[in-house]
Amino acid sequence: MSETQNPVPLLSVVTVVRNDLAGLKATMASLRERLALPLAQGAVEHVVIDGSTNGEIRNFLVQQAIAPGSWVSEPDRGIYDAMNKGLDRAGGRYVLFMNAGDVFSSFFDWRLLVPHLRGGSRVLLAYAVECFGNDRYLRPGLGREGHVFGAPSHQSTFYPRAFFTEARYRLDLPVKGDGDYTKRAIEQVGALFLPTVVAEFALGGVSSNYTATKVLRRRLAEQEVWRERAKLLIKFVLWRLLPQRWFYRVLAWGKYTPLDHGGLPGLRAAPLEGPAGRAG
């Protein structure tokens, strides 16, 4: 049976947006460009969860004639509540969160992903590119792919239906909820790293910004390991001492691979087996 005849999409891409029409347009354009391939047609669905405080995005979605069942525009209780709404509506075998402003990399190879979406049951992980100004970093860094199982980026994390059918983000972890969800998924169903770059995203969001002391207090309260609390405090101090560009360079040093704008260095050649998972 071809992918266009299959009533169940291989992949649900969920985009959460709040008052960022430009970011939503960039994500949608990226999805259409990178996944409007013959092999991907009919195999990918896009779900938009809009929690904006005005009707701008709702009007845009109506004007685009996007099917009503694939988007919702209503207030939510934060980003993880919105992501849970996306999970409720995801009909694919896997789900990927690409929030407003996140884009698919021009190096993304859909062909490498398809066999694993079609027959896999583990969390699938891949490279991502973090951007700040003209600086770009490959995450995980070359030679450090084994570390991805402990700290992947959600923009390059594919969750299988075997996990996301029932599992939801914890709303009592407003900062750490993303990492907690991925950790539970890997522990339950296992993980596999694929040597392809999926997404590019800008640094400076809640998870990579240390401006607000209120957010820092939340992070410290959610973190049970004292060594990790110490790392957060060090980052909080460095944020105030260094220009943001150098702050991210310090954080990336030894972990991620700096990229120039001429292309990618040689990536890992083969998939990397990760944890087996309790369900494996």
**Residue range 199-219, pLDDT digits in tens:** 999 987 666 667 777 777 777
Give the tens place of pLDDT for each residue, 232-259. 788 888 888 999 889 889 989 989 999 9
Within 10 angstroms of residue 79's Cβ, the number of other Cβ atoms is 22
CATH number of this structure's domain 3-202+256-273: 3.90.550.10
End-to-end CA, the chain: 27
pLDDT at 232: 76
pLDDT at 182: 96
Distance CA 64, CA 108 (A): 26
Distance CA 1, CA 3 (A): 7
Beta bridge partners of 13: 46, 96
Beta-carbon contacts of 79 under 8 Å, excluding residues fewer than 6 positions away, are 16, 18, 99, 206
Q: What is the DSSP letter of 264?
A: -
pTM: 0.90
pLDDT at 230: 85
Show the 3-state SS of 33-44.
HHHCCCCCCCCE
Give the least confident one: 59-68, 100-109, 172-181.
Answer: 59-68
The chain-wide mean pLDDT, for the chain, equals 88
Res 50 pLDDT > 80: yes
Give the tens place of pLDDT for each residue, 130-139. 999 889 999 9
Give the least confident one: 55-59, 147-151, 261-265.
Answer: 261-265
Mark out the alpha helices in 109-243 (DSSP H runs): 110-119, 161-164, 177-189, 213-222, 226-241
Distance CA 56, CA 52 (A): 8
DSSP-derived 3-state class of residue 268: coil
15 in Cβ contact with 24 (< 8 Å): yes
Q: Stretch 21-27: mean pLDDT, rounded?
A: 95
Percent of all residues in the chain with a pLDDT value above 70, rounded to a whole number: 92
Res 49 pLDDT > 90: yes
Give the tens place of pLDDT for each residue, 150-197. 989 989 999 999 999 999 999 998 888 999 999 999 999 999 999 999
Q: Where are the domains of the chain?
A: 3-202+256-273
Res 5 pLDDT > 60: no
